[in-house]
């Protein structure tokens, strides 16, 4: 059973531990970050509490510029002027990130909601904003054949989560600042799928519906004459 910091007191207690024990160990790092950030990576993932981007990538403060929302969604350019589009512009235009990752995950509530949107929209009646937001992922649901809420299994939810990551990568590339950086080979863009239960990441392949293990993705990047740029 997981220990949760349920009360505000327990949450503040965690901050207190950070101030007294964690910060002193990394004081130099925090002081070096005091006035500036130069994160190499924009990491876009779901708001889901079970995803800890720094933990799963073993990165420190200052390394990941984050966008988090329900379903790791990137609305296509022009569809919504808001948090996602402005953070992308800032990350690519001002911070000049070198990598953009879109990371979906197992058992995603947004994917279940998306299945409901396609099959049983009344279930989302009390969440009109979520319902509108999920329209940005509707095309992913359309690629999963015969989606019916009653016989959707774990594999369908995973297929949908991966299809959603691929769709959001497509949307990402409609943002002019991203398209420009890609055309100049200044940016790597990759889709990931995170399996919470097994602690495994899968790297999605652009060209086909396959995915790679992290070991395979590393080997491909290290291969001489790799088409992926570093």
Task: Collect all residues with Cβ–Cβ distance below 8 Å to 138 and sequence separation of at least 6.
Answer: 114, 117, 118
Choice between 46 and 134, CB closer to Zn ion: 46
Shortest Cβ 111–Zn ion spacing (Å): 7
CB of 229 to Zn ion, least distance (A): 30
Closer to Zn ion by Cβ: residue 158 or 188: 158
Query: Measured between alpha carbons, how far is residue 199 from residues 55, 56, 213 in Å?
Result: 11, 8, 12
CB of residue 61 vs Zn ion: minimum separation in angstroms? 23
Residue 70 CB, shortest distance to Zn ion, in Å, is: 7
Residue 46 assigned to a binding site: yes
Residue 4 marked ligand-binding = no
Which residue lies nearer to Zn ion by CB, 139 or 196? 196
Dist CA 14 CA 36 (whole Å): 26
Neighbours of 195 (CB within 10 A): 14
Cβ closest to Zn ion, residue 49 vs residue 183? 49
How many Å apart are CA 84 and CA 172, to the nearest integer? 10
Q: Is 105 annotated as a binding residue?
A: yes
Distance CA 152, CA 150 (A): 6
For residue 85, the minimal CB distance to Zn ion (Å) is 20
Q: Which of residues 31-60 bind Zn ion (CB under 5 A)?
A: 46, 48
Q: Quick one: 108 or 137, whose CB is closer to Zn ion? A: 108
Coil vs helix vs strand at 194: strand
Number of H-type helices and E-type strands within the chain: 11, 6
| Binding positions for Zn ion, 101-130, rule CB under 5 A | 108, 110
Cα 105 from Cα 162, distance rounded (Å) = 8
What residues make contact with Zn ion under the rule CB under 5 A?
46, 48, 108, 110
Binding site, by residue number, is 46, 48, 105, 108
Binding site for Zn(2+), by residue number, is 46, 48, 105, 108
């Amino acid at each position: 059973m997981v220990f949760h910091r349920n009360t505000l007191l327990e949450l503040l207690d965690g901050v207190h531990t950070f101030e007294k024990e964690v910060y002193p160990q990394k004081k130099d790092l925090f002081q070096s970050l005091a006035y500036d950030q130069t994160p190499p990576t924009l990491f876009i993932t779901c708001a889901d509490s079970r995803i800890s981007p720094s933990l799963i990538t073993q990165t420190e403060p200052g390394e990941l510029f984050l966008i988090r929302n329900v379903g790791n969604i990137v609305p296509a350019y022009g569809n919504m002027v808001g948090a996602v589009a402005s953070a992308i512009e800032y990350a690519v235009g001002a911070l000049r990130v070198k990598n953009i990752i879109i990371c979906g995950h197992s058992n995603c509530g947004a994917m279940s909601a998306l299945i409901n949107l396609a099959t049983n929209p009344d279930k989302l009646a009390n969440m009109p904003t979520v319902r509108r937001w999920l329209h940005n992922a509707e095309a992913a649901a359309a690629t999963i054949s015969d989606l019916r809420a009653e016989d959707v299994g774990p594999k369908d939810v995973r297929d949908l989560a991966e299809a959603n990551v691929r769709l959001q990568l497509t949307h990402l590339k409609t943002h002019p600042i991203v398209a420009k950086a890609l055309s100049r080979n200044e940016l790597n863009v990759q889709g990931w799928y995170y399996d919470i239960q097994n602690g495994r990441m899968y790297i999605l392949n652009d060209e086909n519906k396959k995915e790679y293990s992290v070991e395979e993705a590393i080997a491909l990047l290290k291969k001489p004459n790799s088409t992926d740029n570093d």
